[in-house]
Amino acid sequence: MADLDGGRTLWDDLSPGRDVSASKWETPLAERMRPRMLEEMAGQAHLISKGAPLSRAVTSGHVPSCILYGPPGVGKTTIARLMASMTERDFLEINAVSANIAALRDLVAEAKHLKNMSGRTPVAFVDEIYHFNRQQQNALLPSVERGDLVLMGTTTENPWFEINKTLLSRMIVYELRPLKAEDITVVLERALADRERGLGELELSASPETFMEIALGAGGDARQALTRLELAALATATGGGRVIEIETVRKAAPKALQRYDRDQDDHHRIISALIKSMRGSDPDAAVYWLGRLVAGGEDIRFVARRLVVFAAEDVGLADPRAISVAASAAYASDMVGLPEARIILSEAVIYLSMAPKSNSAYLAIDAALSAIEKGDMQEVPLHLRPGGEGYKYPHDSPGHWVAQKYMDEQRKFYFPGVLGEEPEIARRHALQGDGDDPSDDKDDPSRDTGGQSLPKDQGRKDGRQEGAH
């Protein structure tokens, strides 16, 4: 049988109810305090409260093959172990980072053997399953289909992108959420008082404010919170103190945990929140999400590019200066770098948030492209071609405008918005392709919708997501 991690086999008993040895202080507090029953779990009420999906599964004795998807330290591994122990199933554990095909074959063979012996399908737990390549994931398919094992995998990355579709179609995805600070404080209080597994032997106390300080710094991660508590408790006890003070906590862990990954889900979620906050004209929310990006180490060039796109797409002609502000911010922030670039980006984000909004330019070009894709391929009129006869030079006219056709068949793609400077821009430039001033067109549906309406066959395609560029 394949060995992992210093001689421990894949099939060692890792159930939550195992004994805690006398050398418990050599085991991290977070590991010692793993819940031994669902009632000890913090948060995740949408999954484990009475009547919730996983609670019903355990009560019925049925455990589905599933993916437990969520950030670190929210209980994914604990839930998997509890589901196995509470339904009296063997629990086989493997880590996708270090496992190879040979280890997977051993796991499959052992699972089949245990099922033949007990009559109950064992749980095969794959931690960080998204690290498996396609071949490794496919190696588990036959056993899942035959019911030789119940496959449980954990992932911090989006399973719909990271897990093979063939494997994912045979599993249920349960999404776990970051823990609220109030839930984490309950975990901390229990750990400080628990004499068997926790820190109770130290006979320390802490105020609710100290517990909240630790919880807020953990970023929704119970494991991180317990690690911070243990550091602060040991520092207090070593110094002869009896009360864990906030200042001790801050010295032990001076910065809050930044839950951010530049290459994965957080990257897309937070930039999306920034874009939508600016679009909704909320500068406070926009600056907060900008702060999350900066604190998480996001590439400032990426942020600056998104601001330039936003200035054209969402502010547009309602404030033509917005794109200059965004472009200047992109240049300036790249030139000076961090930390000063944060001020430049903040100025641009606040300006764009407060600016009037119009997406008429975005809708216009997409409408034109849609028409072209549908086969509207007009020839360039003869008088518009190089050296073409009959072209009228607008600057020869007193108003620098002259009536002439610029398309053989007239099309309407641009509908001016009604906010900011756009109506004045439309009037000033006398956009009279059809002989009428668009700003005076009472039948124009865009007048009531800020320029968002278009003919039905020229509308915006659904499904576009911010942060995808």
pLDDT at 256: 59
Helix (H, G, I), strand (E, B) or coil at 273: helix
**Helices within 159-221 (DSSP H only):** 159-162, 165-168, 181-193, 208-217
Tokens of 406: 């610029």
Residue 427 to residue 448: CA distance in whole angstroms: 18
Tokens of 199: 């820190």
What secondary structure does DSSP assign to 58-117, as a single string? Answer: HHHT----EEEE--TTSSHHHHHHHHHHHTT--EEEEETTT--HHHHHHHHHHHHHHHHH
Give the CA angle between residues 225, 29, 195 to the nearest 5°.
115
Residue 308 to residue 294: CA distance in whole angstroms: 17
Burial grade of 110 (CB within 10 A; 0-12, 13-18, 19 or more): buried
pLDDT at 433: 44
**33-60 confidence digits (pLDDT tens):** 999 888 888 889 899 888 888 888 888 8
Residue 155 to residue 127: CA distance in whole angstroms: 7
Low-confidence spans in the chain with pLDDT less than 70 = 1-22, 254-266, 428-469
Tokens of 375: 């086969």
pLDDT at 253: 75
Give the CA angle between residues 257, 228, 19 to the nearest 5°.
125
**Domains within the chain, CATH numbers bracketed:** 3-175 (3.40.50.300), 181-252 (1.10.8.60), 265-354 (1.20.272.10), 377-458 (no CATH)
Helix (H, G, I), strand (E, B) or coil at 406: coil
